[in-house]
Structure 1
Amino acid sequence: MTYGGPALESGTVYYWAVRVWDEAGKPSEWSEPACWETGLRHADDWQASWIRRPEDGSFQRGQFTYVRRPLTIETEIDRARAYVSASHQYELSVNGTQVDRGPSFSYPDYQYYKTVSLTDALVTGENAVGALVHWSGEGQGRPAAEPGFICQIELRFADGTERTVVTDGSWLVRTAEWREDAPLRNDEIAEPVERIDGRAEPNGWSEPGFDTETWEAAAVVGTHPTEPWTRLVAQNCDVVRSPVEPASIDHLGSGSYVVDFGRIYAGIPAVRFEAGDDGHRVKLKAGYRRDDDGTVAETDGTQWTDMSYEYVQPEGEGWFRPFNSLGIRYLQIDDPGESLDTDQVRLLTRRNSVPDTGAATFESANETVDSVFELARHSALYGCQEQFVDTPTREKGQFLLDAFNISQTTTHAFAERRLTRKAIAEFIRSHYRYWACEGRLNAVYPNGDGKRDIPEFTVSFPEWVWQYYRISGDRQTLDVAYPVVQSVAAYVERHVDGDTGLVMHLSGGDNSCYEEGIIDWPPEMRYGYDRDWAARTTVNVLCAGALGRAADIAAALDRPECEQAHYRDRRRDLRDAIDAHLRRGDRYVDGCDAADASTSTSQHASALPLAFDLVPKAHVDTVADRVAADGMKMGPMTVRWLLGALATADRPEAVVDLVTDAETDGWANILAQGGTFTWESWRCRDPSLPADHRHNRSESHAMGSTVLVSILRTLLGVRPDGIAGEHVEIRPPATGLTSASGQMPTERGTVEVAWTHEANETPADSPKFRLETTIPWNTSATVALPTRERDATVTADGEPIQSGMRATALADGITSVQDGKRFEVDLTSGTYRFAVE
């Protein structure tokens, strides 16, 4: 539904209520009022200036700065809002309490700002408002910019008067206690190793009455908009922080302490020293593993990232609190100068804010499947920060295919929508910023290294847009994305060879190991895929998928029939070319050219055509046999297509085998090796290699969390269909598990399912099956019960709905019964209990 009322004003609270009409046209009562508010919607709404420390124009990377001002309020506050932004991030404090952190990273010509409520933080009388601002410098996920901070506080008082407080030359600034000559943690992100002098911390700096005699006046860059910040855009997603207590703390013989937080989180460590010795230097380091002597490994598992810290103690009590987060399980504290206990250490975990209710759950008779589900859930949750991140440790950039994979998990697991919508919009902007004439998108965005693409990432974008639309119903995003999807389709069509009909030499990833197609990543996850061909099978399949999704989006947007038909026809042509040139009976070769073809038949080459419904029906079973027999020969980046292939061929037992095999590559093997977060490569800890030859890959890489979606869809059997949860199919597996229960959130509510296969003692007897499900309001459902017995008795809520081959009276809510390969029942909203005997 599109809003058609009066134009919305800036900085205003709006209230709304809804009611619905039944099939007879009778309206319901009005709902309880809800509200939303608008931010500063136009450039001329801003009166605040961008400010920073006085500089000579040569900005030091890793700059930390305090800004503050006193604020006297003489009457009762009715409402207070701060509209605030920084390059790159801030922590906002009022009267000694931190009230917010942000914003998301972006380019200064599309800078995010946040709206923060200060109604409860400000008091009548003397107040102080301030921020700790960190400017990183350019890197992965951090575009080039300049240091700057802006804040506009809008106050409305109980007597109806109003007041605006803005950043300007009256604000004071001071260099923070971080050393600015520290090295960067690695060559990917613009974060310094945090070396903090606790003696220089201005305790109480954001409290009223603090002595600012040594502070200096802020330098005013200009009233917004001013170069380089030409646009401010409201940020509609947020990061939440919560403390995690140590699972254990060990005192080593060397005098060091090692804290274990139980599993890897994205977070910020904090240590309270009770009896500091003035000037005493404490070295700390975070990590993922421990060496044989119990210390935290410096490089193993960290991707050569310097995860050390240094803290210079003040006399007496002092808090070590760094600014930036890392992926952390262990924290080593060397020579703290006192005995440490668990109550002195914590980890402030951070993640994107998602709805607290209705999140997906899963429990089954197979403990390994359950553990893999939790591994994926945890990984996806902490792979979401201000943006989807490659990893919270080495590369904090938002890579397109990583983001797509994590988004698939979060939208199904947590009903997450805002971060996905924001990410899709950002990659759309990458197209217009860098690739408008070439039909591509950036591989990582935002970023500090400019124009950079990977072919498969570009051609996967239409699939992401379509999947998000189906689960959310967000037509506006679909509409905005469609011109970019058209450009991607044109990019594909330009590379179709006139003789073979295949996509050849798909341009992109120039002069790198990504050129003409990445296949999988890291390289060892290609499992020997033969890339030395003009037409690569996986690239062609993804291109066919892009053309198909262009047709689907065109249809959803009611585009002209000729436009829809064009994309459908091009997909069909590419599908036929793939079958003619790349399939060899029950398998697909890795690639070909006009004269010859590869003799290599990787799992990638066969799984993707199956997942994208490109395999002729007569060959689906034999191709699926081939794919299943290969076990795990695809990496975490592409494994979603392997799982999709097995689901397409209805092989739930193969999915269970893939998920639970702890002896070979996969999630169970990660768990068996002590992993607590999905990995970038199945072989992070390859025991067949000596330690000095192992790949030092990321052990906190959420792109492999897509297994959660397959567990819900294939093993729990909940498959959202239609648009925005309007219809759901419940298809529990006939093999693989004996029971499962859980729930999945949809746009219209939570679908709940619990089912059990109960085998009778006599093998010749038919198995029993029980299923209970709850379908939310305004949702229809089809339940496909796993039985092919023509003489089965099926009951709903204890009443027979089929006995033998004869249908009986239908229970309430059941609209039809079908007898095909499965016993299918169409339902409306409600709770139902089925049994098959």
Structure 2
Amino acid sequence: MNKYILCLFTLVAFSSLGAQTSTKDLDLETTLIKPQRIIKISDSHYFIDFGKAFFGNVEITSNVSQNDSLIIHLGEKLDGEFHIDRDPGKNIRYRTSKLNTLVANQTVTPEIQAYKRNTTGAAIMLPEDIGAIIPFRYCEIENLKVPIESIEIKQKALHFKFNDDASAFSSSDPIMDSIWELCKHTIKATSFTGYYVDGDRERIPYEADAYINQLSHYSVDNEYSMARRTNAYFIDNPTWPTEWLLHTVLMFHADYMYTGDIEPLKQNYENLKLKTLMDLERADGLISSKSPNLTKDLMSKLGFKKANDKLKDIIDWPPAQKDTGWKLATPEGERDGYEIVDVNTAVNAFYYYNLKLMTEIATVLNKTEDAEFYKKKAKLVKATINSKLFDAKKGYYIDGEGSTHSALHANMLPLAFDLVPEEHVATVAEFVKSRGMACSVYGAQYLLEGLYKNNEAEYASSLISNTEGDRNWWNMIQVGSTMTLEAWDVKYKPNADWNHAWGTAPLNAITRYMWGIKPKMAGFKVADINPQLAGLTFTSIKVPTKQGFILAEYKQESNQNDVYTVTIPENMTAEFTLPKNFKKVSLDNKKLKGKSLFLTLESGTHHINIAY
């Protein structure tokens, strides 16, 4: 695909209330993309495919004039081989507009009618000179009286600055490769506001969406200003779901680990303490959004502005049919039948993880007493969850205090957040595996993390590459989208859109857990590389970091021999984790003695040969 970077914008952003505020350089770019296919439908009617959906408009230049009007159709979805769906669904986008004339050698852009919901109120606004934009892949032109060869039409894509060459992935699994590319494109294409927004349905930042977006963005580019801008937004603009709010600390901690910059932690430390929801804690350490401590004053301190604002436990999205009124394909929504009680396991798993990360943050900021305080609280919460919310007879967790039901979410979150005692990991993991993909595309983030972190890489990878049924990423490709959907399919969420970056869990899971490449020390001074490449016979990856790019290749030479080639950038060392069952290992053609499970890799290229 030919792409031409047209210009670099310094834009004006708008606050969550729609009031204009000045910002310094949102780093948005416009890329002009040529068609991949132009199909003649009739003498004056043409179908154009740009290959992938982007947010933007089309730009048309003709070398001859046409005095008659043209009709332009833009859309994401087809309902025929060369026909844009004029009624694609509630939030799948389609717009038609008219161009009155074509003037020779003048470039024109049709005027698109804006959607009210994503251009008013709490939506992140675009400057007026950008005009209305929509996500689209396809274009149809009707009543074109001049030869198609006399016009040049391009997709005018708006996105945050993005280095397409900063990341790469390939493997012996073509389905996994396709899904990785789907997710990477989603990260680039959904960046059009300069913030991590939910998608085109609302264009509003939400913490849960933003955290997954952040991890996936970090996996494909080493540009961190968009994440930092979004994090700062949430300090004064929290959202109401309890678990969403509990992502705030996770986002700030991730920013620190990838950048090494402690300033955002310093500046927002007191607010991060509040966002743990520690004020809702009872004597045994557990929290509840039904706590009498959740006063209007506390809500105001958390950043909420309306007197009637309240927190509500969500446990995945969408919730049950009884909560939404929608005719859902699964009446329980994406909750796996979760029984929401006042003190529930999912919320308290997030709370524990907040305390664990706040221990690290306080330590980094040399707040020794606070670090010890959070460490003790985390220990108490972990003990209480495992004594009160774990069913010893079943061998896995119940949904909450007083519940007899056990949903996927009550077990995948403890696995993901290191809550499960070693002696119970096997039974909890088996229960999780028995539920399949009984969560949403958002919940899949923690399902994959919990599995990879607890030696279930083969099953986790099979979920990423699954092609059976429609509760998988392959279905997103099959329905015709080039970005991840808000839900597995519109039948699971009738108002879903086709451009939600919170569906990109496979991207960061492949990078951070399957290949196991994460910062071990802040700013990637030390990288952690812990491959779990179950089922693959070869794979390669390029991972962006603040220090440069980590390159890694793997080839299975036989069942008894694995070969890795790993390149570490300057100013970095890496700790490479060996499989527990290895017999012999050589590093750069030197046989190593002993049974250490870790290799230290200095900057440069290294060859690792592992025999079993």
TM class, shorter-length: 0.7 to 0.9
Q: Does 1:798 align with 2:589?
A: yes
Letter paired with 1:731: N
Matches of 1:521 and 1:720, distance apart in 2: 30
Evaluate the alpha carbon distance shift between residue 759 and residue 284 of structure 1 in structure 2; reply closer, same or farther with a 3 A threshold. Answer: same
Greater mean alpha carbon deviation, residues 463-472 or residues 729-738: 729-738
Gaps of 5+ in 2: 1-5, 111-130, 320-327
Say if 1:743 and 1:750, in contact at 8 Å, map to a contact too.
yes
User: Counterpart in 2 of 1:106?
Assistant: 14
Evaluate the alpha carbon distance shift between residue 286 and residue 633 of structure 1 in structure 2; reply closer, same or farther with a 3 A threshold. Answer: same
Matches of 1:389 and 1:713, distance apart in 2: 20
User: Counterpart in 2 of 1:135?
Assistant: none
Q: 2:19 aligns with which of 141, 144, 149?
A: 144
Evaluate the alpha carbon distance shift between residue 343 and residue 276 of structure 1 in structure 2; reply closer, same or farther with a 3 A threshold. Answer: closer
Q: 2:181 aligns with which of 374, 380, 391?
A: 374
Say if 1:538 and 1:608, in contact at 8 Å, map to a contact too.
yes
Q: 2:281 aligns with which of 496, 509, 518?
A: 496
Letter paired with 1:285: H
Partner-residue secondary structure (3-state), 2:246: helix
Q: Does 1:644 align with 2:449?
A: yes
User: Counterpart in 1 of 2:322?
Assistant: none
Q: 2:477 aligns with which of 664, 668, 671?
A: 671
Evaluate the alpha carbon distance shift between residue 409 and residue 281 of structure 1 in structure 2; reply closer, same or farther with a 3 A threshold. Answer: same
Matches of 2:278 and 2:55, distance apart in 1: 41
Question: Aligned residue pairs: how many?
Answer: 561
User: Counterpart in 1 of 2:193?
Assistant: 386
Shift of 1:396: 2.3
How far does the alpha carbon of each residue in 1:334-377 deviate from its partner, in whole angstroms, 9 at most, with x for none?
323344359521101221113465x1211111111111111111
User: Counterpart in 2 of 1:484?
Assistant: 271
Matches of 2:211 and 2:382, distance apart in 1: 24
Say if 1:287 and 1:302, in contact at 8 Å, map to a contact too.
no
Q: 2:30 aligns with which of 231, 241, 253?
A: 241
User: Counterpart in 1 of 2:56?
Assistant: 267
Q: Does 1:402 align with 2:206?
A: no
Say if 1:268 and 1:326, in contact at 8 Å, map to a contact too.
yes
Partner-residue secondary structure (3-state), 1:826: strand
Evaluate the alpha carbon distance shift between residue 304 and residue 784 of structure 1 in structure 2; reply closer, same or farther with a 3 A threshold. Answer: closer
Shift of 1:318: 5.1
User: Counterpart in 2 of 1:26?
Assistant: none
User: Counterpart in 2 of 1:834?
Assistant: 608
How far does the alpha carbon of each residue in 1:227-279 deviate from its partner, in whole angstroms, 9 at most, with x for none?
xx7xx5533x411121111121233359532211112122221123555544x
Matches of 1:255 and 1:616, distance apart in 2: 68
Evaluate the alpha carbon distance shift between residue 342 and residue 712 of structure 1 in structure 2; reply closer, same or farther with a 3 A threshold. Answer: farther
Say if 1:732 and 1:755, in contact at 8 Å, map to a contact too.
no
Say if 1:105 and 1:142, in contact at 8 Å, map to a contact too.
no
Residues 589-628 of structure 1: pairs in structure 2 closer than 5 A = 589-592=398-401, 596-599=402-405, 601-628=406-433
Partner-residue secondary structure (3-state), 2:553: strand
Matches of 1:463 and 1:244, distance apart in 2: 36
How far does the alpha carbon of each residue in 1:388-440 deviate from its partner, in whole angstroms, 9 at most, with x for none?
34355332222232222111111221012111111112222x1xxxxxxxxxx
Backbone CA RMSD of aligned residues: 2.9
User: Counterpart in 1 of 2:84?
Assistant: 296
Q: 2:381 aligns with which of 574, 597, 605?
A: 574
Say if 2:8 and 2:30, in contact at 8 Å, map to a contact too.
no
Q: Does 1:286 align with 2:74?
A: yes
How far does the alpha carbon of each residue in 1:446-479 deviate from its partner, in whole angstroms, 9 at most, with x for none?
xxxxxxx332221110011011101110111111
User: Counterpart in 1 of 2:459?
Assistant: 654
How far does the alpha carbon of each residue in 1:518-574 deviate from its partner, in whole angstroms, 9 at most, with x for none?
222233652443354112322221122222222221111001x32222222222222
How far does the alpha carbon of each residue in 1:21-80 deviate from its partner, in whole angstroms, 9 at most, with x for none?
xxxxxxxxxxxxxxxxxxxxxxxxxxxxxxxxxxxxxxxxxxxxxxxxxxxxxxxxxxxx
Partner-residue secondary structure (3-state), 1:411: helix
User: Counterpart in 1 of 2:137?
Assistant: 329
Evaluate the alpha carbon distance shift between residue 316 and residue 719 of structure 1 in structure 2; reply closer, same or farther with a 3 A threshold. Answer: closer
Partner-residue secondary structure (3-state), 2:411: helix
Residues 694-733 of structure 1: pairs in structure 2 closer than 5 A = 695-733=494-532
State which structure, 1 or 2, has the greater radius of gyration over its C-alpha atoms.
1
Shift of 1:611: 0.5
Q: 2:490 aligns with which of 663, 684, 694?
A: 684
Matches of 1:292 and 1:416, distance apart in 2: 39
Letter paired with 1:234: K
Shift of 1:797: 2.2
User: Counterpart in 1 of 2:121?
Assistant: none
Say if 1:298 and 1:306, in contact at 8 Å, map to a contact too.
yes
Evaluate the alpha carbon distance shift between residue 467 and residue 480 of structure 1 in structure 2; reply closer, same or farther with a 3 A threshold. Answer: same
Say if 1:266 and 1:392, in contact at 8 Å, map to a contact too.
no
Q: Does 1:778 align with 2:571?
A: yes
Q: Does 1:344 align with 2:125?
A: no
Say if 1:472 and 1:747, in contact at 8 Å, map to a contact too.
yes
Shift of 1:302: 5.8
Say if 1:550 and 1:567, in contact at 8 Å, map to a contact too.
yes
Partner-residue secondary structure (3-state), 1:773: strand
User: Counterpart in 2 of 1:505?
Assistant: 290
Q: Does 1:307 align with 2:76?
A: no
Evaluate the alpha carbon distance shift between residue 502 and residue 455 of structure 1 in structure 2; reply closer, same or farther with a 3 A threshold. Answer: closer
Partner-residue secondary structure (3-state), 1:344: strand
How far does the alpha carbon of each residue in 1:266-293 deviate from its partner, in whole angstroms, 9 at most, with x for none?
2221123555544x44332211111237
Matches of 1:826 and 1:389, distance apart in 2: 36
Say if 1:522 and 1:680, in contact at 8 Å, map to a contact too.
no
User: Counterpart in 1 of 2:324?
Assistant: none
Say if 2:77 and 2:481, in contact at 8 Å, map to a contact too.
no
Residues 57-68 of structure 1: pairs in structure 2 closer than 5 A = none
Partner-residue secondary structure (3-state), 2:231: helix
Residues 401-420 of structure 1: pairs in structure 2 closer than 5 A = 401-420=208-227
Matches of 2:83 and 2:309, distance apart in 1: 36
Matches of 1:511 and 1:307, distance apart in 2: 38
Matches of 2:23 and 2:53, distance apart in 1: 33
Shift of 1:328: 0.7
Q: Looking at secondary structure, tell me which structure has more helix per residue.
A: 2
Letter paired with 1:671: I
Q: 2:252 aligns with which of 446, 462, 465?
A: 465
Letter paired with 1:292: G
Evaluate the alpha carbon distance shift between residue 512 and residue 314 of structure 1 in structure 2; reply closer, same or farther with a 3 A threshold. Answer: farther
Matches of 1:649 and 1:425, distance apart in 2: 33
How far does the alpha carbon of each residue in 1:620-671 deviate from its partner, in whole angstroms, 9 at most, with x for none?
1221122123221221223211111012102211121111111131112222
Evaluate the alpha carbon distance shift between residue 498 and residue 478 of structure 1 in structure 2; reply closer, same or farther with a 3 A threshold. Answer: closer
Evaluate the alpha carbon distance shift between residue 99 and residue 260 of structure 1 in structure 2; reply closer, same or farther with a 3 A threshold. Answer: closer
User: Counterpart in 2 of 1:49?
Assistant: none
Evaluate the alpha carbon distance shift between residue 749 and residue 572 of structure 1 in structure 2; reply closer, same or farther with a 3 A threshold. Answer: same
Shift of 1:101: 3.6
Gaps of 5+ in 1: 1-97, 108-140, 146-228, 431-440, 444-452, 687-693, 761-766, 808-817
TM-score by length of 2: 0.84
Evaluate the alpha carbon distance shift between residue 142 and residue 249 of structure 1 in structure 2; reply closer, same or farther with a 3 A threshold. Answer: farther
TM-score by length of 1: 0.63
Q: 2:161 aligns with which of 335, 340, 353?
A: 353
User: Counterpart in 2 of 1:739?
Assistant: 538
